[in-house]
Amino acid sequence: MQIMKKKQNPPWADLDPCVLSKIFSCLSPQDQLFGPPYVCRAWLSATLDTLFHNSELDLRLIESLEDKIQRSRFTHLLRIAINRSDRNWVSIHLPNKHSFGYFATVYIAEKTPTISSVFWPTDVSSSHVPVYMSMFYWRKIRVFHARLNHNQWFNVLTQLADLCNNLVEIGVHGTITEKEALCIIQGFPRLKVLDLSESNLSSEVLGMLLDGRLENLREVNILHCLVLDDEGKNMLERDYSNYCYFKAWRRQILETASNLKSLKKFMHCLEKCCPQCG
Q: Is the pLDDT reported for residue 238 higher than 70? A: no
Residue 239, pLDDT > 60, answer no
Residue 7 lies in a domain: no
What pLDDT digit, counting tens, does each position of 111-161 carry? Answer: 999 999 999 886 555 556 778 888 999 999 999 999 887 778 888 899 999
Cut 0.85: pTM above it: no
Shared-domain flag, residues 96 and 210: yes
Is residue 26 a part of any domain in this protein? yes
Instruction: Check whether residue 45 and residue 102 sit in a common domain.
Output: no
Which residues span the domain enclosing 34? 15-51
Residues 60 and 172 in one domain: yes
Q: How confident is the model at residue 44 (pLDDT cuts 50, 70, 90)?
A: confident
Domain assignment present for 278 = no
Please tell me whether residues 209 and 259 are part of one structural domain. yes
Cβ 174 vs Cβ 150: under 8 Å? yes
pLDDT at 185 over 90: yes
Residues 157 and 133 in one domain: yes
Do the domain assignments include residue 104?
A: yes
148 or 166, which is more confident: 166
Quick one: 94 and 222 in the same domain? Answer: yes
Are residues 122 and 214 part of one domain? yes
Distance from C-alpha of 170 to C-alpha of 147, rounded to nearest angstrom: 11
Name which residue leads in pLDDT, 77 or 127.
Answer: 77
Could you tell me if residue 136 is inside a domain? yes
The answer to whether residue 276 scores a pLDDT higher than 70 is no
Quick one: 69 and 194 in the same domain?
A: yes
Q: Using pLDDT thresholds of 50, 70 and 90, give the confidence band for residue 181.
A: very high
User: Would you say residue 262 has pLDDT above 60?
Assistant: yes
Residue 45: pLDDT over 60: yes
The number of domains in the chain is 2
pLDDT-based confidence at 215, cuts 50/70/90?
Answer: very high
In a shared domain, residues 47 and 87: no
Looking at the domain assignment, is residue 74 inside a domain? yes
Give the pLDDT confidence score for residue 136 in this predicted structure: 92
Label residue 85 by pLDDT band (50, 70, 90).
low
**Does 5 fall in a domain?**
no
Split at pLDDT 50, 70, 90, the class of 1 is very low
pLDDT value of residue 266 = 93
Give me the mean pLDDT over the 171-189 stretch: 92
User: Rounded to 5 degrees, what are φ and ψ at 146?
Assistant: -155, 160
- Shared domain for 154 and 227, answered yes or no, is yes
Say if residue 146 is in the same domain as residue 27.
no
| N-to-C CA span, the chain | 89
Asked whether residue 259 falls in the same domain as residue 152, the answer is yes
Of 30, 51, 72, the residue at which a domain comes to its end is 51
Tell whether the model's pLDDT for residue 9 goes beyond 60: no
- Looking at the chain, the whole-number percentage of residues with pLDDT higher than 90 is 34
Structural domain includes residue 150: yes
* Four-point Cα dihedral 60, 157, 130, 149, nearest 10: -70
Give the CATH number of the domain where residue 81 resides: 3.80.10.10
- Show which of 51, 78, 95 is a domain's final residue: 51
